[in-house]
Structures are given as structure tokens and as C-alpha cells.
Amino acid sequence: MKRRWRAFGAIGKLHNIIKYIRISPKRRAGFKSILQDLEKQCVKIPVMDNATRWGSVAEMVKYGLQNREGIEMYCSKVGADMAEDVLREEDWQELQTVRHYN
């Protein structure tokens, strides 16, 4: 499934990252602690896209861009599990472009 999502480019990679974080309480807690260390004012569970909810992809992209530093730190901490989904600079630019048009 991860490979199929990666075919969607940066949005697919972000989807995989957020799904990985949300899949267990331990992972959510680890991500929340990173956001708290970064002194984010709003520490909440990542927003994930949903096939039945309008605008959910836009919300996921918005969340990802707002929490870029935390996502990057989390992916580097996790290491090999997220290696293929790590968002590069050009992926972040693609997400910024998507956000601009929504």
C-alpha cells in the first residue's frame, strides 16, 4: 500500500508518514513529544486524508506544512522505517504549491 501511495508524489509520501504516526499510541506520543520540544503552541494528532471527507487532503497538506520541522525530526528519528517516504526539499515545494491552489 505504501508503494501505491508513493506514486502520488509528495502527497502520497505525506500520507504514509501521517499514517505511520497515527497507527499506534506510542508513535503518536513520540510525535507529540517532538512537537512539544519544538514548543509548538498547538500539539495535536496529525490530520489524515479521508476518501469520504471533502477537503481532507488540503487539511493534511496544511497540517504537514505547519509542522514540517516536527515531521522531519520524527522521520530522521524513526530512520529506516520511513526512509522511502522522507520528504525532500522539492517534495515540500510541491506541497506548498498544492496548498497555494487550495
The pLDDT tens digits of the residues spanning 20-34 come to: 999 999 999 999 999
What total number of domains does the chain contain? 1
41 confidence band (pLDDT: 50, 70, 90):
low
Q: Is the pTM of this model over 0.75?
A: yes
Q: What is the pLDDT of residue 76?
A: 94
- Find the distance separating the first CA and the last CA of the chain, reported in whole Å: 26
- Domain limits for position 51: 2-100
Eight-class DSSP state of 53 = S
Q: Are 35 and 70 contacting, i.e. CB atoms less than 8 angstroms apart?
A: yes
Looking at residue 96, its pLDDT comes to 95
Q: Does the pLDDT at position 101 exceed 80?
A: no
pLDDT of residue 81: 86
> What count of Cα atoms within 13 Å lies in the side-chain half-sphere of residue 30?
16
